[in-house]
Every structure is written in structure tokens, then in C-alpha cells.
């Protein structure tokens, strides 16, 4: 009898506790406000206003001094050529000379390795042109093969393109993406019969720069195109709002 009474008391307490929990849950459910999360997009097309172009030339000879003199002569010819094309002195930078010995492996008639044979010295120097006159440097980079007529083999890299006002562009795009996200949220809230409440959170996506009309893919760390003069930048903003 005593055991039955104990069980009854425990069962009664459990019922009362469950009723309290369910009551609070129902009350909290009625007080909970809905939340909506949307993603807005900001896109801008722009043209690069800075170009960086690099190239190199080299000289080879059995005598180091002769090799250096030949390289210096090439440098003077190249500099004179570039200045004649409108490149400014402060836009042109010649970098340090890189030197190495040119050797080849020697083998006996029966194929045994006999060491290396010294063939001479190779000196290489590179140059860099950085300019805001994009069209001018582009033209020079296409015409640089004219140096072949002067007996110089100049190895040209592909120009790289940059935009000096990127920080301002980012701010403008973040504003566009935020406005786009808010507009989407307002439409969704209105269509569901609600009203947009306070902003709960805002998260910025990865900044992406690709060539205009290119097939470049976005990357998780952000794409930064330098091979195209005309580019497209994009960024996303994810906003979360309360809905009344």
C-alpha cells in the first residue's frame, strides 16, 4: 500500500511538471518572432588604370667581363628604345643582374660520366615598367619585337592590369549588395503578410574580380584577375532580419 502511494505521488508530480513545460513552450511559441535571411549581390564593371609589364634579356660568353659588357650594351639599347616610345624614366626599373655558369655533362665513348664541361657565363637582367598610361605600355609590349632588328632577343611577359581605386570600389559594391539584400527581404516579408523588423546580423562574402565576359570561376579565397584590362568585380552580403 505504501509503495502504491509513493508511485502515485511521483506520477502526479511528473504530470504537473510536464504541464508546466508544455505551457511554457506554447507561450514561448506564440512570442517568437520569425527570422528571414537573404543574400544580396553587388556587381561593378571597371577598366584598369595601372599596368605592370616585365621582360628580360641576356648575354653569354666564355669571358665574364665580355659577357657583362655585352649585357650593358643591350641595356643601353633597350633603354633608348623604350624612351623613344614614350616610356618615362621614372616608369622604368632595371633589376639586379643574375649570373650563372653554363655547363654540360661530359661522357666517355662507353657512356661513363666524366664530369661537367664549362661553356661560359650567362648573365640575365630583367626590367619592369609600371605606368598609369595603360594604352601606351600595351602598344610598346606588342612592338617590342622590333628589338630583334637591333640584334637583341628580348623576352616579354604578359602585362598585368590593376585598379588603383579598388578600396573605393569595394565600399560602393558593399553598399549595393546591402541595398539589394534589404530589398529582397522587404519583398519576402511583404509577400508573407509580415513586416521587416530590426537587422539581426550582416555577413560580407568574398570579393571576386574576374575578366569581363570571361569564363573564370570564383574561388573560396577570392579571385583576383590581373590578365584582363576590363574586369568585373562582385561581392555578396548576407543579412538576417526579424519579421514582425
Q: Is the dihedral of CA 204, 208, 209, 215 positive or negative?
A: negative
User: Measuring CA to CA, how many Å separate 78 from each of 52, 125, 135?
Assistant: 17, 11, 20
pLDDT at site 17 = 43
pTM: 0.78
| CATH topology identical between 33-47+165-243 and 51-161 | no
pLDDT value at 1 more than 90: no
Just give the CATH number of 51-161.
3.30.70.2970
**Sequence-ordered list of residues with C-beta below 8 angstroms from that of 108, at least 6 positions apart, any chain:** 114
Give me the mean pLDDT over the 186-194 stretch: 89
- At 21-69, the pLDDT tens digits run 334 433 333 444 688 999 999 999 999 999 999 999 999 999 999 999 9
- At 141-182, the pLDDT tens digits run 999 999 999 999 999 999 999 999 999 999 999 999 999 999
pLDDT at site 30 = 44
- With a pLDDT cut of 70, the percent of the chain lying above it is 86
**Sequence-ordered list of residues with C-beta below 8 angstroms from that of 49, at least 6 positions apart, any chain:** 132, 134, 162, 163, 164, 165
Give yes or no for a contact between 9 and 220, defined as CB atoms under 8 angstroms apart: no
Q: pLDDT band at residue 114, thresholds of 50, 70 and 90? A: confident
* Domain spans of the chain, in order of start: 33-47+165-243, 51-161
Give me the mean pLDDT over the 2-30 stretch: 40
CATH assignment of 33-47+165-243, among 3.30.365.10, 3.40.50.12240, 3.30.110.170, 3.30.40.230: 3.30.110.170
Q: Assign residue 120 a region (left: φ > 0; alpha: ψ between -120 and 50; beta: otherwise).
A: left
Amino acid at each position: 500500500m505504501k509503495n502504491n502511494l509513493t508511485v502515485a505521488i511521483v506520477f502526479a508530480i511528473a504530470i504537473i511538471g510536464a504541464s508546466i513545460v508544455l505551457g511554457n513552450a506554447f507561450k514561448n511559441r506564440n512570442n517568437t518572432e520569425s527570422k528571414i535571411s537573404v543574400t544580396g549581390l553587388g556587381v561593378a564593371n571597371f577598366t584598369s588604370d595601372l599596368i605592370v609589364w616585365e621582360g628580360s634579356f641576356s648575354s653569354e660568353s666564355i669571358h665574364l667581363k665580355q659577357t657583362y659588357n655585352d649585357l650593358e650594351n643591350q641595356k643601353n639599347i633597350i633603354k633608348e628604345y623604350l624612351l623613344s616610345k614614350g616610356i618615362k624614366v621614372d616608369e622604368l626599373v632595371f633589376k639586379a643582374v643574375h649570373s650563372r655558369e653554363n655547363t654540360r655533362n661530359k661522357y666517355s665513348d662507353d657512356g661513363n660520366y666524366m664530369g661537367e664541361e664549362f661553356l661560359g657565363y650567362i648573365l640575365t637582367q630583367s626590367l619592369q615598367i609600371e605606368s598609369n598610361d595603360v594604352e601606351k605600355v600595351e602598344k610598346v609590349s606588342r612592338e617590342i619585337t622590333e628589338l630583334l632588328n637591333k640584334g637583341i632577343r628580348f623576352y616579354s611577359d604578359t602585362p598585368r592590369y590593376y585598379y588603383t581605386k579598388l578600396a573605393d570600389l569595394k565600399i560602393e559594391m558593399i553598399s549595393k549588395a546591402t541595398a539589394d539584400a534589404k530589398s529582397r527581404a522587404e519583398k519576402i516579408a511583404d509577400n508573407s503578410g509580415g513586416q521587416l523588423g530590426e537587422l539581426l546580423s550582416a555577413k560580407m562574402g568574398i570579393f571576386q574580380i574576374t575578366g569581363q565576359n570571361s569564363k573564370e570561376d570564383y574561388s573560396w579565397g577570392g579571385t583576383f584577375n590581373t590578365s584582363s584590362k576590363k574586369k568585373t568585380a562582385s561581392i555578396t552580403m548576407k543579412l538576417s532580419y526579424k519579421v514582425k
